[in-house]
Amino acid sequence: MEKYFKLYNDVKIPSIGFGTWQTPEGETAINSIKLAVQTGYRHIDAAAIYGNEKSVGVGIKECGLDREELFVTSKVWNTERGYETTLKAFEKTLNDLQLDYLDLYLIHWPASAHQFNNWREINADTWKAMEKLYTEGKIRALGVSNFMEHHLETLLDNAKIKPSVNQIEYHPGCMQNACVNFCTENNILVEGWSPLGRGKVLEHKMLKEMASKYNKSVAQVCLRWALQNKVLPLPKSTTPHRIKENFVVFDFEISASDMKAINQMDNFGGSGLHPDAIDF
Ligand code: A2P
């Protein structure tokens, strides 16, 4: 199992990203980032709305690695979408993270039920800003998050530069097959948020049995399963032993029949967040 995936523009992306959603700003975020880097993570998944980019930035600054050794992602929030507002939001994120470029910048959500009825135009304008940032070398890759096929189709119709990543909810019981297949056909790498189903899938009986067979934790099985399905998982933890545990997934392989069994447990433990009806 490779420790990197390659985006369509040849940019290498470390195959496990360290998630920062719900990581509290301050010492917790700073120390988690530093420990993650020490553990071997080289990919950090941030977002403006997580409210902790300043601390994530301090963690990056103090982690002891050169900037080029890390892959850093952030996302433009719903209320900042649009051409000028995206450019402004990007500068704020860059400032908060104390960086002078990002490896990947994403549109966080495609549509907001009560904010924008005109999501097609808003996303097209936002995308123009993303393309400008890419062309100017301020981001090494550009992508989206929580886009379903119809959002992607609309975006692709207008895009000069196509998205290299779509970050969606992905864990055993929530595979979003149609969306993943669409992305694969279009050479868009799928990243999985909440790869442990926010803890829910960790109690699943079959997964527990499988984990003990491989002498691994259920979390490790979930992450390895995503990797074997060519989806890049983004586990979040602020607990030191879990940060380490979630990175030890390159030393075992889930058999084809066990992969099939996990792939068949669809419709379990999903968040229920629907990209067409987000109200925030
Ligand atoms: P914590 O940060 O307290 O360690 P997801 O990535 O699916 O959204 O899940 C994140 C949740 O799962 C967090 O509550 C996190 O808690 C917990 N978590 C992360 N890694 C593990 C693990 N290896 N075992 C159990 N729970 C975990």
Q: Is the CB of 19 under 6 A from ligand 1?
A: yes
Q: pLDDT for 121-139, tens place per residue?
A: 999 999 999 999 999 999 9
pLDDT value of residue 279? 57
DSSP line for 81-99: -SHHHHHHHHHHHHHHHT-
> What residues contact residue 247 under an 8 Å CB cut-off, 6+ apart?
16, 36, 39, 40, 41
Give the HSE-up count for residue 131: Cα atoms under 13 Å, Cβ half-sphere.
16
d(CA 120, CA 111): 8
Question: Does residue 278 surpass a pLDDT of 80?
Answer: no
Q: pLDDT for 59-70, tens place per residue?
A: 999 999 999 999
Centre of ligand 1 from the C-alpha of residue 156, in Å: 34
Which pair of structure tokens corresponds to residue 31? 């120390």
Q: Is the CB of 270 under 6 A from ligand 1?
A: no
> What residues contact residue 251 under an 8 Å CB cut-off, 6+ apart?
none
Q: Is the CB of 173 under 6 A from ligand 1?
A: no
- Which of 22, 194, 208, 236 maximizes ligand 1 atoms within 8 Å of its Cβ, making it the mutation to test the pocket? 236
Q: Is the CB of 26 under 6 A from ligand 1?
A: no
pLDDT value of residue 2? 84
Q: Is the CB of 196 under 6 A from ligand 1?
A: yes
Which residues are annotated as catalytic?
50
Q: pLDDT for 188-215, tens place per residue?
A: 999 999 999 988 899 999 999 999 999 9
Beta bridge partners of 44: 18, 72
Q: Which atom of ligand 1 is nearest to the CA of 234?
A: 6
Centre of ligand 1 from the C-alpha of residue 48, in Å: 21
- The domains found in the chain, sorted by start residue, are 4-200+231-241 (3.20.20.100)
Centre of ligand 1 from the C-alpha of residue 79, in Å: 28
Contact predicate 82/126, CB 8 Å: yes
pTM beyond cutoff 0.95? yes
